[in-house]
Amino acid sequence: MASRKKRKQRQRGVAQDRPPSRSEQRDAQARAALVPLAPGERPTVVTVGAIVAAVNGVATLVVYALGVDVRGGDSPLGGTIALAALSFSMAWGMWETRYWAVLGMQALLALTILVFSLALVVVPTIWWALVEVIVIGAAGTLFWFMVKAMARIQMPSRDQ
Strands (E) located in 23-142: none
**In terms of pLDDT, which residue wins out, 25 or 98?**
98
Question: In the structure, what pLDDT confidence band is assigned to residue 160 with cuts at 50, 70 and 90?
Answer: very low
Q: If we measure between CA atoms, which residue out of 99, 113, 68, 104 comes closest to residue 83?
A: 104
What value, to the nearest 5°, has the Cα angle with vertex 32 and ends 31 and 38?
90
Q: pTM, whole model, 2 decimals?
A: 0.73
Helix (H) / strand (E) element for 37: namely none
- Helix pair angle (77-95, 99-119), 10° resolution: 130
A 10 A CB-CB count for 89 gives 16
Q: Please tell me the distance from the alpha carbon of residue 50 to that of residue 98, in angstroms, as a whole number.
A: 11
Question: In the structure, what pLDDT confidence band is assigned to residue 72 with cuts at 50, 70 and 90?
Answer: low
Q: Please tell me the distance from the alpha carbon of residue 47 to that of residue 59, in angstroms, as a whole number.
A: 18
End-to-end CA distance of the chain: 42
Share of the chain above pLDDT 90, in %: 51
pLDDT tens digit string along 103-159?
A: 999 999 999 999 999 999 999 999 999 999 999 999 999 999 999 888 888 766 555
- Domain ranges in the chain are 42-154
**In terms of pLDDT, which residue wins out, 38 or 58?**
58
Q: Please tell me the distance from the alpha carbon of residue 39 to that of residue 153, in angstroms, as a whole number.
A: 11
